[in-house]
Structure 1
Amino acid sequence: MTFDIVVVGAGPTGLTLACELRLAGADPLVLDRLPEPSTVPKANGLGGQVVRMLDHRGLLERFTAAASHAGPVPAFPFGGLPLDLSRLEADPFHLLLLPQPRMEEILGERARELGVTIRRGHELLSFTQDDPTSPPGPADGGGVTLRVRGPEGDYEVRTRYLVGCDGARSLVRRQAGIGFPGSAARETTLLGRVVLAESAINPKTGEVEVPGVGRVRPGRHATPHGAFTITSLHPGVHLVGVHLPTGADTAAPEEPIGPSTRKDPAEPAAPEDPAGPLAPEELRAAVRRELGADLPIERVLWSARVVPQARQADRYREGRVLLAGDAAHLFPAGGALAVCLPDAVNLGWKLAAHAGGWAPPGLLDTYQTERHPAGRRFLTQARVQALLTEPGEDAAALRGLLGELLGDAQAVRRVAGMMSGSDLCHDMPGAAARPHPLLGRFVPGLRLVTSSGATGLAELMRTASPLLLDLAGRTALTRIAAGWRDRVVVVPARCEDPPADALLVRPDGHVAWVAAADEPDEQAGDALRTALSHWFGAETRAEDIQEVTTAGG
């Protein structure tokens, strides 16, 4: 059995990558060792730039319909400190609240619509790749051989590329010999999704009335023993967490939040390996120790011990083997999918170009040069968030100082940009000494009028094709794209207050070239040829060109 690309892992990253590969014309196979999709709510939603990426693929409406909240938020926590986003002229934090199992259900539906082959209950056992220094292609037959265990026994699969989206304990990463340096957090979190008594919740403030304690407000509360967190995720569902120093015993704190203190010697102590399952009774007992009273929990939906990790693979590629998502990075604070899904969208079209035989030299290398720094930058802010939540005087001093700095709108803008990914800017070839502000950034959500009528730029990105957008009738530039007519879609359009005369947008939404209003055709045309060749391969021979391929005009 032979496939263009095999993706290991049918989580959000693997399914997104599979969809991107199909849109770009590749034939992927997705393997997942679990016989059924996981019901574990590892993530609680999406926020930031990734939401606009969903819109580019026509998935935003599906996600919004399933979300308990969809839209901008006036404030967002940074390590427990409030970011007042209402002070910004443009809020980067469009938030979608929905549990990961529902995300996977939506992405799985989309993958099946596109014809992706998904094999559940099929576990990757091992793989061997051919000489990684020789470029795989139809002529040399190079690639990777996988040994897989399925319900009916072991079998082999041959593929040109293998992508590990198989999570923190990635077999693909380990067998490829890729390092995963970093550290574990100094605290263990006993985490649970719970249903609280409705009568105990103040609908206006979200505070929870705890008998013998009083009102406990949403957020994180430091205690001498550790910390306690409670927050509402979805209607009727709360997330509660008890944060303990890793390896510490679970004795009751000397000064709990409430006035009473309880300690049940029969309650189990934390295991030597703190990460893993957590019985509902253990969660209830741990919360009782922190509060000094019983939280009015009617039902525990899910619970687990979690040790946050701060890690990043030292490289995202080893020959024909690549990593994406949690296999490539782990963050000690939330928001991982804001990095994982863009990994997939960045990689998909580049990998499909190699599978299709038209990729320019070095295209796949840009996955490493673009996404590894993006992961490292997000990891930096996530580490800072984790430090801000630690107990002790040093962390308190850090919270006090940053709290003052975050009173400034510019500081809020910078931090929100790092958290949301909206500040990401990739290097582009042929950039002028003073490049256009849009170059390398995610394209803005323009409203357009084409010969087919009014539309949005997001609608034009549904097919995941490269897009040359002509906003000023500069046909001398659009004629140049005729040499890439089989790969690049040209759209003449009008736009109120256009940001530039023309834009070349990559399939992942990043602007690869800009023609400014005062830039001569010859100069702009040379830069356009450079960008087209760099990202989309060699120009088609002039004698084969009949006309410029256009869409919407």
Structure 2
Amino acid sequence: MPLNSPDGAGTLDADVIVVGAGPAGLMLAGELRLGGARVIVTERLERPTGQSRGLGFTARAMEVFDQRGLLPRFGDPETSPMGHFGGVQFDYTVLDGAHFGARGIPQSQTEAVLEEWATELGADIRRGWEFVELAEGFLDGDEVEITVRTPDGVQRLRAAYLVGCDGGQSAVRKAAGFDFPGTPATRAMFLADVVGCDLRPRFLGERLPHGMVMAAPLGEGVDRIIVCPDGTPARERDQELTFAEIADAWQHITGEDIHDGDAEWVSSFTDATRQASEYRRGRVLLVGDAAHIHLPAGGQGLSTGVQDAANLGWKLADVVRGGAPEGLLDSYHAERHPVGARLLMNTRAQGTVFLGGEEADPLRELFTELIAYDDVKRHLAGVVSGLDIRYDIAEATGDAHPLTGRRLGDRLLIGAAGETGTTELLHPARGVLLDLSDDPEIRRAAVCYLARVRITTAVPKPVDGEDPLSGASAVLVRPDGYVAWAGGPDDLAGLDRALRRWFGAPAS
């Protein structure tokens, strides 16, 4: 029986427990609630820190927020056509629909928007609740039990699934025994938001004989600085960091004295690069930094975590509601683990170009030459923006249409009720079957899925240039915006396979 059915509602504290109320955990909580799952989010911090390592998100993460109707909550996000790879600047719009992402949005704002949204949807967010222990049996049992430390003492919670969204030092990952291979940290780097320092902007960073520095004004007299001194070993996590140390490193690299300034907050990070060998062990799954850590480059960490959550949320909700078999969850690792591996590859490459010493000068020179070619720009823009992601969906369904496995970008459709956008159709986090030829056979093939798939009959509004919808009579889009099938009435068997694969058995 579905775990949140009237008969089973009292047996568990929630369908899913999410540990960690950062962007990935909050995004996942909202996705699960849209899918009808009961969710508890535990967060060890009693209140948000207000600190913001991230200052924006990529083009693909921006699309994810838009498909849930969240983008207006960020105001009017500014996007930049100009971005970089390893500090080498180029125009991302050489790739259709690409840009460097939303800029100037502090992570604290992203978290506030997502927490408000998840709470509105009914997620139970419990701050000051710290994950302590995972009970045995999560690999083979039909539930998970965790121990948490709360302001009122130790408590136990039970759910069908547990998801670790608790960052690079994930306690959930360690408790569940996930392997986390990779390369250890080789250097320490520092970050601070400073006031009273009168700094010259260095938006893309400046490579100097003793290291690299970046500086960018945040407004109201505050500057974000990043200091990457050469030869500074990684620090112990519990080792206290002071602004004086950061000012010393800044002066050593630049010759500029900023000791008279002050810091609103300071932090350190490293170039450690690791990825969990598997994203699921039994009833425990990992999302975001809990699954992969890397050198920060281009806001990709937060953005990849949000996309992890968007991929997993609807699948996990369908499973706990009884609408899909548990095997659907295996597609989360199959689809997102390669994306994480590619993220680690590109951030390590950027680190080599950006942070390497004199020995990396020939590489930087060659890279600068290569990036002048449009094909190279398109490739790198796709890698950093996430717009080049294509899931290997065809292998499971046999559908080899060029759209299958790719995200369907926002397209205007004209139907009986007027114009609507494909992004707007995805707001409820249900599947969408676009009937683009007003074909009753197409609609009839999906009628038993109306509880999980919205059928929309419309035609695409003409666009200039190449139209990816050209030649498709119908397109089945998953709740995360990726195309599960595209074709016509001559491939109704393929449509049926895709519906069963992603949405379970048809209703009677």
Q: Provide TM-score, normalisation by structure 1.
A: 0.84
Check whether the contact 1:274–1:307 (CA below 8 A) recurs between aligned residues: no
Deviation at 1:386, TM superposition (A): 0.6
The separation in 1 between residues aligned to 2:24 and 2:239, in whole angstroms, is 22
Question: Which residue in the other structure is 1:221 paired with?
Answer: 206
CA distance 1:80–1:461, shift in 2 (3 Å): same
The separation in 1 between residues aligned to 2:479 and 2:64, in whole angstroms, is 10
The separation in 2 between residues aligned to 1:438 and 1:275, in whole angstroms, is 48
Check whether the contact 1:429–1:534 (CA below 8 A) recurs between aligned residues: no
Alignment of 1:150-299 (within 5 A): 150-196=150-196, 208=200, 217-233=202-218, 236-247=221-232, 273=236, 277-295=240-258, 298-299=261-262
Question: Which residue in the other structure is 1:70 paired with?
Answer: 78
Q: Which amino acid letter does the alignment assign opposite residue 331 of structure 2?
A: T
Secondary structure at 1:240's aligned position in 2? Answer: strand
The separation in 2 between residues aligned to 1:177 and 1:79, in whole angstroms, is 34
Question: Which residue in the other structure is 1:348 paired with?
Answer: 313
CA distance 1:284–1:124, shift in 2 (3 Å): same
Q: Which amino acid letter does the alignment assign opposite residue 108 of structure 1?
A: E
- Percent identity of equivalent pairs: 38
The separation in 2 between residues aligned to 1:282 and 1:437, in whole angstroms, is 53
Q: Which amino acid letter does the alignment assign opposite residue 163 of structure 1?
A: V
Deviation at 1:353, TM superposition (A): 1.1
CA distance 1:502–1:387, shift in 2 (3 Å): same
Alignment of 1:532-547 (within 5 A): 532-541=499-508
| 1:149-198 residue CA offsets vs partner (Å, 9 max, x unmatched) | 1111111111100000011111110011101111234321122112356x
The separation in 2 between residues aligned to 1:93 and 1:132, in whole angstroms, is 41
Secondary structure at 1:508's aligned position in 2? Answer: coil
Question: Which residue in the other structure is 1:551 paired with?
Answer: none
Check whether the contact 1:46–1:97 (CA below 8 A) recurs between aligned residues: no
The separation in 1 between residues aligned to 2:346 and 2:54, in whole angstroms, is 18
Question: Which residue in the other structure is 1:81 paired with?
Answer: 88
Q: Which amino acid letter does the alignment assign opposite residue 82 of structure 2?
A: A
The separation in 1 between residues aligned to 2:230 and 2:357, in whole angstroms, is 12
| 1:340-372 residue CA offsets vs partner (Å, 9 max, x unmatched) | 001001000111111111213520000010010
Question: Which residue in the other structure is 2:325 paired with?
Answer: 360
Question: Which residue in the other structure is 2:40 paired with?
Answer: 29
The separation in 2 between residues aligned to 1:277 and 1:105, in whole angstroms, is 28
Deviation at 1:282, TM superposition (A): 2.5
The separation in 1 between residues aligned to 2:433 and 2:302, in whole angstroms, is 29
Question: Which residue in the other structure is 2:18 paired with?
Answer: 7
Question: Which residue in the other structure is 1:394 paired with?
Answer: 359
CA distance 1:246–1:217, shift in 2 (3 Å): closer
Q: Which amino acid letter does the alignment assign opposite residue 102 of structure 1?
A: Q
Check whether the contact 1:470–1:503 (CA below 8 A) recurs between aligned residues: yes
Deviation at 1:283, TM superposition (A): 2.2
Q: Provide TM-score, normalisation by structure 2.
A: 0.91
Check whether the contact 2:394–2:405 (CA below 8 A) recurs between aligned residues: no
Deviation at 1:450, TM superposition (A): 2.7
Deviation at 1:289, TM superposition (A): 2.2
Question: Structure 2 unaligned runs (5+)?
Answer: 1-11, 463-468
Secondary structure at 1:371's aligned position in 2? Answer: helix
Question: Which residue in the other structure is 1:105 paired with?
Answer: 112
Deviation at 1:501, TM superposition (A): 2.0
Deviation at 1:473, TM superposition (A): 0.8
Deviation at 1:245, TM superposition (A): 3.4
Secondary structure at 1:389's aligned position in 2? Answer: helix
The separation in 2 between residues aligned to 1:275 and 1:75, in whole angstroms, is 38
Question: Which residue in the other structure is 1:124 paired with?
Answer: 131
Secondary structure at 2:327's aligned position in 1? Answer: coil
Question: Which residue in the other structure is 2:465 paired with?
Answer: none
Matched, 1:512 2:484: yes
Check whether the contact 1:188–1:275 (CA below 8 A) recurs between aligned residues: no
CA distance 1:284–1:146, shift in 2 (3 Å): same
The separation in 2 between residues aligned to 1:446 and 1:428, in whole angstroms, is 22
Deviation at 1:94, TM superposition (A): 3.4
Q: Which amino acid letter does the alignment assign opposite residue 67 of structure 2?
A: H
Q: Which amino acid letter does the alignment assign opposite residue 180 of structure 2?
A: F
May I ask how many residue pairs the two structures share in their alignment? Answer: 488
Check whether the contact 2:14–2:160 (CA below 8 A) recurs between aligned residues: yes
CA distance 1:433–1:224, shift in 2 (3 Å): same
Choose from 422, 432, 452 the match for 1:487.
452
Deviation at 1:297, TM superposition (A): 6.9
Secondary structure at 2:318's aligned position in 1? Answer: helix
Question: Which residue in the other structure is 2:428 paired with?
Answer: 463
Q: Which moved more, 1:239-248 or 1:170-179?
A: 239-248
Matched, 1:317 2:313: no
Question: Structure 1 unaligned runs (5+)?
Answer: 135-141, 202-207, 209-215, 249-270, 542-553
Matched, 1:476 2:467: no
Secondary structure at 1:336's aligned position in 2? Answer: helix
CA distance 1:196–1:440, shift in 2 (3 Å): farther
Matched, 1:451 2:416: yes
The separation in 2 between residues aligned to 1:375 and 1:454, in whole angstroms, is 37
Deviation at 1:148, TM superposition (A): 1.3
Deviation at 1:232, TM superposition (A): 3.5
